[in-house]
Chains A and B, each alone.
Chain A
Amino acid sequence: MPKPIILFADNDADFLRTRAEFLRQEGYHVIEAANSTEARQRLGAGGIDLAILDIRLENEDDERDLSGLWLAKEMAEKVPTIVTSGFMEQMIPMIPKIILTGFPSYENVREALAPRVGGLPAAVDFVAKQEGPEALLAAIRRALSASERRQAEIPVAPAAMMAEVPGIRVQAQRKTWILIGAFASLILGTAMGFGAVVTGNPWLLLGALFFIVLLVVGLVVGTSME
């Protein structure tokens, strides 16, 4: 089983290194980010299973610095999307986030855990640095296990049901488009086949064969889909 990939963003270099090492020893692959720009870039590159975001990602001494919390909110606004490209379907999942801080306050808990767009919160958990590494580890385990359950449920759901899952948008009705393509191939293949018989042009015959193959593939794939 592959190691879960965790993005750990904190501008306190010593703390980041110590905690990241602790998590590596616990079996996680940890990617470190020293500020919000780096964290945003890492998240944009994809492949992250969970993100741990310090609230003050820019300036530890500035109590108005809420950059980690803003990043979590910004990510929460981006709903997970099912992208359809040809015959391939890819789910871009919502990355669970844990907010970490050395300066916990109830206002920040509200910001992190209150439901936002789509009814889901910006973060799944809120951990204070003072609670120690074990509390963070427990939060990671809970978040990853909840995320796995969610992921396992989503791909098997038919598109119509997926559209009702909070925060999920189905971009394309794959099956419909495949069947439309197959129907178009039937018309073009028939027309080219007829042209080949009348004119004896071998290129038209080749074209007709190409569209017949497309038609068969389209029908097989389209009808086998749920």
Chain B
Amino acid sequence: MRADPGDGAVEVAFLLIGNREESTWPLALEEAVAPFGRLHVVSEQEALEEAERNRYDVIIVDATVVSEVAPLVARLRARQPEARMVVATLSPTWQRAREAMQAGAFDYIRKSFNKKETRAAIRGLLKRPRPAQPLESTS
């Protein structure tokens, strides 16, 4: 049984599914999560393989670079049911939020480049209870 992340006693494993070539967002996120643990960045194509290979406490899906968010979230959730999965986007909409959360996302947030804001969001995320089981998709 793994220790619960967020209490400061264990290093949290973060996985970002995004664009490795892009420098700003992954870098800002890396700085924001630094006090909690380490961030590993993979592309959409590598995501499922990586989720099979290693366990992560938090999986962040960058909706702006992923072609179809909900199916990817559902597949990741099936592989890592205990991970807190978050979808981050520049332009949040309630329809996409519903789709992502019903596919199994733990949260749906607006992408922020502000370190303090992102850090607060991560802290809040780690304090919340883990998901119980995958929700059924509405689509």
Residues in chain A within 8 A of chain B (CB atoms): 104-106, 108-110, 113-121, 124-126, 128, 138-139, 142, 146, 166-167
Decide if B107 touches A128 in the complex (CB within 8 Å): no
Residue of B93, B101, B130 most packed against chain A (CB within 10 A)? B101
- Chain B 82-99 interface residues, beta-carbon cutoff 8 Å to A: 92-98
Q: Tell me, yes or no, whether B133 is within 8 Å of chain A by CB.
A: yes
Q: Tell me, yes or no, whether B135 is within 8 Å of chain A by CB.
A: yes
11 new A-B contacts, CB < 8 A, other than A115-B129, A128-B94, are A106-B92, A106-B96, A106-B97, A108-B94, A110-B97, A114-B106, A115-B131, A119-B131, A120-B132, A126-B98, A142-B138
Residues of chain B with a CB closer than 8 A to A105's CB:
94
Q: Tell me, yes or no, whether B136 is within 8 Å of chain A by CB.
A: yes
Residues of chain A with a CB closer than 8 A to B129's CB:
115-119
Residues of chain B with a CB closer than 8 A to A120's CB:
132
Q: Which of B93, B95, B96, B128 contacts A115 (CB 8 A)?
A: B128
Shortest C-beta distance, A87 to chain B (Å), equals 31
Decide if A142 touches B136 in the complex (CB within 8 Å): yes
Smallest CB gap from A138: residue in B? B138
Decide if B128 touches A114 in the complex (CB within 8 Å): yes
Decide if A109 touches B101 in the complex (CB within 8 Å): yes
Decide if A109 touches B94 in the complex (CB within 8 Å): yes
Q: Which of B92, B97, B132, B136 contacts A119 (CB 8 A)?
A: B132
Smallest CB gap from B137: residue in A? A142
* Known A139-B138, A142-B136: A106·B131 in contact at CB below 8 Å: no
Decide if A166 touches B108 in the complex (CB within 8 Å): no
What CA separation (Å) do A167 and B128 show in the bound complex?
15
Residues of chain A with a CB closer than 8 A to B135's CB:
113, 121, 124
Shortest C-beta distance, B59 to chain A (Å), equals 14
Q: Tell me, yes or no, whether B64 is within 8 Å of chain A by CB.
A: no
Decide if B101 touches A114 in the complex (CB within 8 Å): yes
What CA separation (Å) do A12 and B138 show in the bound complex?
26
Q: Tell me, yes or no, whether B80 is within 8 Å of chain A by CB.
A: no
What CA separation (Å) do A128 and B94 show in the bound complex?
9
Smallest CB gap from A117: residue in B? B129
What CA separation (Å) do A110 and B106 show in the bound complex?
9
Q: Which 3 A-B pairs have the closest CB atoms?
A: A119-B132, A166-B132, A109-B97
Smallest CB gap from A99: residue in B? B98
Q: Tell me, yes or no, whether B102 is within 8 Å of chain A by CB.
A: yes
Residues of chain B with a CB closer than 8 A to A121's CB:
101, 135
What would be 18 A-B contacts, judged by CB atoms less than 8 Å apart? Answer: A106-B92, A106-B93, A106-B96, A106-B108, A109-B98, A110-B109, A113-B102, A115-B106, A115-B129, A116-B129, A117-B129, A118-B129, A119-B131, A119-B132, A119-B133, A126-B98, A166-B132, A166-B133
Cβ proximity bits B102-139 to A, threshold 8 Å, 1 near / 0 not: 10001111000000000000000000111111011010
Shortest C-beta distance, A164 to chain B (Å), equals 11
Residues of chain B with a CB closer than 8 A to A117's CB:
129
What CA separation (Å) do A116 and B133 show in the bound complex?
12
What CA separation (Å) do A105 and B96 show in the bound complex?
10
Residues of chain B with a CB closer than 8 A to A110's CB:
97, 101, 107-109
Cβ proximity bits B2-30 to A, threshold 8 Å, 1 near / 0 not: 00000000000000000000000000000
Q: Which of A106, A138, A146 contacts B136 (CB 8 A)?
A: A146
What CA separation (Å) do A124 and B36 show in the bound complex?
31
Decide if A125 touches B138 in the complex (CB within 8 Å): yes
